[in-house]
């Protein structure tokens, strides 16, 4: 589902993948088939020259259920589906479970579990220009315990002058504290083809670290502030920047990208993404216990991770696209020499 759910809801639209939003009932979704050509970050297996991630196919999908009677409240449930193809994860998970209520003219109330309104990049593959998420989405997803950078709570969105303003009262992003998170988002288009957005979300700092249980995202970067600018005023061209700042751990994260539709179904996209960390070995930030230790050691060096990605996209049919992408990542910790890895993937995204 499109990341800009709240802004769309203000206009009375809960969008499916090409489906009519005002239908009494609707089922839509997508399937993704991916193939990893090269992955330098993959663990080597015997013989030592082989790579367990290369030459592997994977598949996953999503099914979305929407009920939107003409005189009632829109209800939506998105279910993510995956199969274990060697990565150790399989099953069905709820991505979104929510309602949208047009309380008064121009004001919409959302409730439940829904896509994080902060940040530009969408969660679902049909809405993404790249095969993998960028730095800002990844940083935000590291804070939201719910799968897919999702949040839980209530949001109210409405027009305030020429802008759309959204206010959210949410569970703590990490889902481990009694404190609630407050989100505020402002969307404004000063001219045709230029979209501006500023958003922020409060969050308990690292005093609220959880118990470090496996799989939990228990470290906190504190409050987050984001702005993004997208320009589509030139035919077939899109350029944009998405920038994130936090109180702790992450100094900043940004994505700078451009995409151009060449014609005959072909598009090209390029992106530079970077995350700068204020302390600690950035390769350990996925583990709560390691992060807690890093945060207590103020003399540890910071670091950064920079990724460049380039892809060619071909629209095979109205409901099928293929994306061949090459990405290169450089990671630096303190004064140590940087380490590099390359990732080449081919993905097919089919919608229904």
Q: What percent of the chain has pLDDT over 70?
A: 74
Q: How confident is the model at residue 184 (pLDDT cuts 50, 70, 90)?
A: very high
- pLDDT at site 206: 59
The predicted model gives 214-240 an average pLDDT of 84
**Gap between the Cα atoms of 22 and 4, Å rounded:** 18
Please check whether residue 123 is in contact with residue 149, taking contact to mean a CB–CB distance below 8 angstroms. yes
- pLDDT at site 274: 94
Model pLDDT for residues 41-68, shown as the tens digit of each residue: 755 554 555 566 788 899 999 999 998 8
Cβ neighbours of residue 213 under 8 Å, at least 6 residues apart?
288
Scanning the chain, the segments in alpha helix (DSSP H) are 5-10, 135-141, 288-296
Compute the half-sphere exposure of residue 90: CA atoms within 13 Å on the CB side of its CA. Answer: 8
Model pLDDT for residues 296-321, shown as the tens digit of each residue: 444 445 678 899 999 999 999 999 99
pLDDT at residue 294 is higher than 50: no
Q: How far is CA 38 from CA 85, 117, 339, in A?
A: 17, 33, 16
Q: How confident is the model at residue 14 (pLDDT cuts 50, 70, 90)?
A: very low
The predicted model gives 162-167 an average pLDDT of 93
How close are the terminal C-alpha atoms of the chain, in Å?
13
Range of lowest pLDDT (25-39, 190-204, 224-238, 287-301): 287-301
Q: How confident is the model at residue 331 (pLDDT cuts 50, 70, 90)?
A: confident
- pLDDT at site 337: 64
The predicted model gives 214-232 an average pLDDT of 78
- pLDDT at site 235: 96
Q: How confident is the model at residue 278 (pLDDT cuts 50, 70, 90)?
A: confident
pLDDT at residue 166 is higher than 80: yes
**3-state DSSP assignment of residue 10:** helix
Q: How confident is the model at residue 260 (pLDDT cuts 50, 70, 90)?
A: very high
pLDDT at residue 291 is higher than 80: no
pLDDT at residue 148 is higher than 50: yes
Homologous superfamily (CATH) of 108-351 is: Porin (2.40.160.10)
- pLDDT at site 352: 96
Q: How confident is the model at residue 174 (pLDDT cuts 50, 70, 90)?
A: confident
Range of lowest pLDDT (7-21, 117-131, 248-262): 7-21
Please check whether residue 76 is in contact with residue 63, taking contact to mean a CB–CB distance below 8 angstroms. no
Q: Burial level of 191, CB count in 10 A (0-12/13-18/19+)? A: exposed
- pLDDT at site 303: 75
């Amino acid at each position: 589902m499109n990341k800009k759910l709240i802004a769309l809801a203000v206009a009375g639209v809960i969008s499916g993948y090409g489906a009519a939003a005002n239908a009494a009932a609707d089922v839509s979704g997508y399937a993704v088939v991916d193939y990893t050509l090269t992955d330098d970050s993959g663990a080597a297996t015997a013989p030592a020259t082989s790579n367990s991630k290369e030459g592997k196919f994977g598949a996953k999908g999503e099914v979305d259920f929407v009920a939107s009677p003409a005189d009632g409240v829109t209800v939506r449930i998105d279910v993510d589906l995956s199969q274990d193809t060697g990565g150790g994860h399989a099953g069905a998970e709820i991505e979104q479970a929510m309602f949208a209520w047009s309380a008064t003219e121009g004001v919409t109330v959302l409730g439940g579990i829904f896509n994080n309104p902060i940040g530009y990049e969408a969660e679902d593959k049909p809405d993404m220009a790249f095969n993998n998420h960028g730095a800002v989405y990844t940083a935000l997803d590291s804070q939201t315990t719910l799968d897919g950078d999702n949040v839980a709570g209530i949001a109210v969105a409405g027009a305030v002058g020429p802008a759309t303003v959204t206010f959210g009262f949410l569970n703590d992003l990490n889902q481990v504290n009694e404190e609630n998170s407050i989100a505020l988002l402002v969307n404004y288009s000063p001219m045709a083809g230029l979209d501006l957005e500023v958003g922020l979300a409060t969050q308990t700092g690292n005093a609220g670290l959880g118990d470090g249980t496996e799989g939990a995202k228990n470290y906190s970067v504190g409050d987050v502030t984001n702005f993004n600018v997208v320009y589509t005023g030139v035919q077939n061209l899109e350029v944009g920047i998405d920038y994130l700042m936090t109180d702790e751990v992450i100094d900043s994260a940004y994505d700078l990208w451009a995409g151009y539709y060449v014609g005959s179904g072909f598009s090209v996209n390029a992106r530079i993404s970077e995350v700068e960390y204020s302390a600690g070995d950035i390769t350990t930030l996925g583990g709560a216990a390691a992060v807690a230790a890093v945060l207590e050691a103020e003399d540890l060096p910071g670091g950064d991770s920079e990724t460049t990605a380039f892809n060619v996209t071909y629209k095979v049919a109205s409901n099928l696209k293929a994306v061949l992408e090459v990405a290169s990542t450089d990671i630096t910790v303190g004064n140590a020499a940087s380490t590099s890895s390359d990732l080449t993937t081919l993905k097919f995204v089919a919608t229904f």
